[in-house]
């Protein structure tokens, strides 16, 4: 039975999913734009330190620009969220490995921002895009 409460609950749930996508993807997009305008030399150096091929540096553009844009639009949201989460796992492993078991200068967890992005992306992959999204995918790929 459709009631006002059910309608409002559904609207709030879909609005919450949209807000989560906008927050996580929108804020990450600033990191991607900074890398687009400032270059990827620092990340290339990190890859070299781990004896990884430097062409992998271009994955940053997928994880920090393409996937966030897909999340903002709600296009193949779950796939984009998984790409985003993988990007954050790599960023933590390569760029912040020395900080994983430490506190930041003000007492917070040293990789709290990276972990927030990672967990936010995982949540988006789990809950899907909600009603306010471009739907291009079937089932879990929506």
Q: How many whole angstroms from its chain centre is CA 10?
A: 24
Q: Is 108 left (phi over 0), alpha (psi -120 to 50) or beta?
A: beta
Q: What pLDDT sits at residue 139?
A: 67
Model confidence, pTM = 0.89
Least confident of 20-29, 112-121, 126-135: 126-135
Domains identified in the chain, total number: 1
Question: How far apart, in whole angstroms, are the C-alpha atoms of residue 82 and residue 76?
Answer: 10
Question: How far apart, in whole angstroms, are the C-alpha atoms of residue 103 and residue 112?
Answer: 9
Domain span at residue 118?
A: 4-141
Tens digit of pLDDT for each residue in 90-118?
999 998 888 888 988 888 898 999 999 99
Tens digit of pLDDT for each residue in 62-76?
999 999 999 999 999
Question: How far apart, in whole angstroms, are the C-alpha atoms of residue 125 and residue 107?
Answer: 30
Q: Is residue 85 within 8 Å of 118, Cβ to Cβ?
A: yes
């Amino acid at each position: 039975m459709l009631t006002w409460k059910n309608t409002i609950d559904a609207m709030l749930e879909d609005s919450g999913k949209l807000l989560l996508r906008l927050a996580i993807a929108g804020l990450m997009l600033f990191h991607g734009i900074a890398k687009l305008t400032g270059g990827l030399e620092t990340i290339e150096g990190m890859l070299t330190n781990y004896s990884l091929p430097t062409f992998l540096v271009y994955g940053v553009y997928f994880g920090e620009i393409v996937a966030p844009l897909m999340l903002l639009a709600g296009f193949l949201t779950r796939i984009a969220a998984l790409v985003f989460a993988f990007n954050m796992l790599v960023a933590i492993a390569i760029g912040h490995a020395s900080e994983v078991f430490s506190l930041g200068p003000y007492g917070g967890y040293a990789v709290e921002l990276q972990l927030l992005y990672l967990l936010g992306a995982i949540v988006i992959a789990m809950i899907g895009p909600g009603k306010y999204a471009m739907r291009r995918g079937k089932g879990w790929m929506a």
